[in-house]
Amino acid sequence: MKIAVLAGDGIGPEIVAQAVKVLRALAGDGLRLELEDAPFGGAGYEAYGDPLPEPTLRLSRAADAVLCGAVGGPKYDGLPRVQRPEQGILRIRRELGLFANLRPAVLFPELAGASTLRPDVVSGLDLMIVRELTGDIYFGEPRGRRTNARNEREGFDTMLYSEPEIRRIAEVGFATAMKRGRKLCSVDKENVLETSRLWREVVSDVARKYPQVALSHMYVDNAAMQLVRSPRQFDVIVTGNLFGDILSDEASMLTGSIGMLPSASLGERAKGLYEPAHGSAPDIAGRNLANPLATILSSAMMLRYTFNQDEAARRIEGAVKRVLGQGCRTADIHEAGKKRLGTAEMGDAVVAALRQ
Ligand code: IPM
Ligand code: MG
């Protein structure tokens, strides 16, 4: 298993180190691992003046899977857009053709009290957001800045989806629903946007191939509201890049903390990029405070989706569940009466639980 490790910025290196620890612990148990690090994001900019340096892209292309931490930081906020760390993650998704982003929001029962929502609202939560990742307003052209006829500055972006782009992500949505509760909710803004009108038409067309899946459509504003009102109504949500970005952050809080939400970005083949859904948290970087569980759970997704090692993936998820059961908590999910651990100690606890 060849894995490119792109730790990135902020808390990236600390949390990735914990996932690597966990993977290595499993490797001792029969999985063969080959890990290689490369600079990425702000670190890529520091080393090569480019958030996705050529050697990093080459390594990522050659690897079976890519494990990412997070990118970005206030230090880089003033850079031109092409040099900003975020461009590294956007470009690598695009270069590797990783159009399907799976973001599962699962509530570990042990964390029911850590959510800002009432336990009776979130308990039993298990939903999957399928976010399109290489299209939409993130990549649509034209985009830019200009001065209009009244001499006012304007900024503009283009929301754009082609039919094949919608079709292939809809397929992932339906296939995902088939393996779960067979309910798919497609989220759009069809009452306002042309892009969404086409989206809804194409998703409805793909639905004819999947008569066993109950398809519903929901406007994104309503979906944002329903996610906090009664999140358990959802099984699989399929949506575009921008709406998926926003809704997945929202959904993460149902699970107690954004520090718990892993993600897999997949293309046509098994190759994938795995990263926590959260950012680089510069405010707590380097202080051993960050929650590494989203990254550890992302490595479980890697074993499942790229390496077909469902058993090993379940062992990691089981170990995470066990440490939570033992009362281990990082600061973001801490409650009175629980054991507060640092980033590295949480990684160690998961490794220890793997051995139990
Ligand atoms: C995410 C992040 C990225 C995105 C940023 C860092 C570009 O928010 O993975 O959700 O918007 O896709
Ligand atoms: Mg985001």
Q: How far apart are CA 320 and CA 120, in angstroms?
A: 22
Place of tokens 């170990």: 319
* Residue 132 Cβ < 6 Å to ligand 1: no
**Which segments within the chain are labelled E, that is strand?**
2-8, 34-37, 65-70, 100-106, 126-132, 144-147, 153-156, 183-188, 214-219, 236-239, 262-266, 272-276, 328-329, 339-340
Helix (H, G, I), strand (E, B) or coil at 55: helix
Atom of ligand 1 nearest to the CA of 241: 12
Q: How far is the CA of 245 from the centre of ligand 1 (A)?
A: 7
Q: List pLDDT tens digits, range 38-48.
A: 999 999 999 99
Mean pLDDT of 275-289: 96
Distance between CA atoms of residues 215 and 181, nearest Å: 12
Which range is least confidently modeled, 26-35, 124-133, 181-190, 226-235?
Answer: 26-35
Please tell me the number of the ligand nearest to residue 241's CA. 1
pLDDT score at 336? 86
Pairing state of beta strands 262-266 and 100-106?
Answer: antiparallel
Q: How many CA atoms lie within 13 A of 99 on its CB side?
A: 20
Q: Whose CA is nearest to atom 6 of ligand 1?
A: 86
Q: Is the dihedral of CA 131, 132, 138, 142 positive or negative?
A: negative
Instruction: Determine the pLDDT at residue 113.
Output: 86
Contact indicator for 270, 305 with CB cutoff of 8 Å? yes
89-106 pLDDT, tens per residue?
999 999 999 999 999 999
Question: Of all protein residues, whose CA lies closest to atom 5 belonging to ligand 1?
Answer: 86
The domain made up of 1-99+267-356 has a fold known as Isopropylmalate Dehydrogenase (3.40.718)
User: Is the pLDDT reported for residue 356 higher than 90?
Assistant: no
Beta carbon of 86 within 6 Å of any ligand 1 atom: yes
What is the set of active-site residues? 138, 189, 221, 245, 249
Phi, psi of 300 (to 5 degrees): -65, -40
Q: What pLDDT, on the 0 to 100 scale, is given for residue 29?
A: 65
**Predicted local confidence at residue 346, as pLDDT:** 98
- Whole-structure pTM value: 0.94
Per-residue pLDDT at 207 exceeds 90: yes
Quick one: pLDDT band at residue 205, thresholds 50, 70, 90?
Answer: very high
Q: Distance (Å, rounded) from C-alpha 217 to C-alpha 245?
A: 18
Domain ranges within the chain, ordered by starting residue: 1-99+267-356, 105-257
Q: Which of 59, 54, 45 is nearest to 4 (CA)?
A: 59
| pLDDT for the residue 115 | 87
Average pLDDT over residues 309-329: 96
Query: How far is the C-alpha of 312 from the C-alpha of 178, rounded, in Å?
Result: 23
CA distance readout (Å), 215 to 56, 58, 304 = 40, 40, 26
Q: Are 255 and 105 in contact (CB under 8 A)?
A: yes
208-237: average pLDDT:
98
* 157 close to ligand 1 (CB < 6 Angstrom): no
- What residue has token string 């939400």? 261
Ligand 1 atom at minimum distance from 71 CA: 6
For residue 241, the CA-to-ligand 2 centroid distance in Å is 10
- Taking only the tens place, the pLDDT of each residue in 40-81 is 999 999 999 999 999 999 999 999 999 999 999 999 999 999
The bridge status of strand 272-276 relative to strand 262-266 is antiparallel
Interhelix angle 293-305/343-355, nearest 10 degrees: 40
* Domains 1-99+267-356 and 105-257 belong to one CATH topology: yes
What is residue 186's predicted lDDT score, i.e. its pLDDT? 98
> So what's the pLDDT on residue 112?
87
What is the CATH topology of the domain spanning 105-257? Answer: Isopropylmalate Dehydrogenase (3.40.718)
- pLDDT of res. 114: 85
Among left, alpha and beta (phi > 0; psi -120 to 50; other), residue 214 is beta
Q: Which residue has its alpha carbon closest to ligand 1 atom 8?
A: 245
Q: What percent of the chain has pLDDT over 90?
A: 92
- Tens-place pLDDT, residues 124-143: 999 999 999 999 999 999 99
288: β partners:
none
Average pLDDT, the chain: 96
CA angle 274-279-281, nearest 5°?
135
- CA atoms of 95 and 93, how far apart (whole Å): 6
Ligand 1 in reach of 245 Cβ (< 6 A): yes
